[in-house]
Amino acid sequence: MYSVVTWEIDAGPGDPALIRAEADTALAPRTTCDLYDDVRITHVASEADYLRLHEDLQDVADAHPGQFRYAVWALRARSPMRTNVSFDHACAREVIDGD
């Protein structure tokens, strides 16, 4: 199973580079591909792992209220991802085919 993860970091008291590093840590150690900017596809091992990912990202949001917003959703049916921008298709295929 894989998920799509995206976030925004707004101006505020927290250092954006630190917040981004915390968000990246929340994704680890899962196989992840940056599609573009702050949009990633991530391999999740199970529904429990998907929920753990959500909880880890929520911890980042709780640590930086009003400054870090995220969205994460699971894709199960291998439905095609549609986008209007270029990204690393080989990396994306590696993550998606990792099921």
User: Cis peptide leading into 29, omega within 30 of 0?
Assistant: yes
- Say if CB 63 and CB 70 are below 8 A apart: no
H, E, C per residue of 68-85: EEEEEEEECCCCCCCCCC
pLDDT given at position 90:
76
Per the structure, the count of domains in the chain is 1
**Residue at 95: amino acid letter:** V
Match 């970091």 to its residue by tokens.
9
Name the residue range of residue 59's domain. Answer: 2-96
Over range 92-97, report the average pLDDT: 69
| CA torsion angle 41 43 46 51 (round to 10) | -40
The answer for residues whose C-beta is within 8 angstroms of residue 31's C-beta and 6 or more apart is 42, 43, 94, 95, 98
Q: What is the CATH number of the domain that holds 49?
A: 3.30.70.240
Amino acid at 14: G
| pLDDT confidence tier of residue 80, bands split at 50, 70 and 90 | low
pLDDT in tens, 9-60: 999 999 999 999 999 999 998 999 888 778 898 998 888 998 999 999 999 9
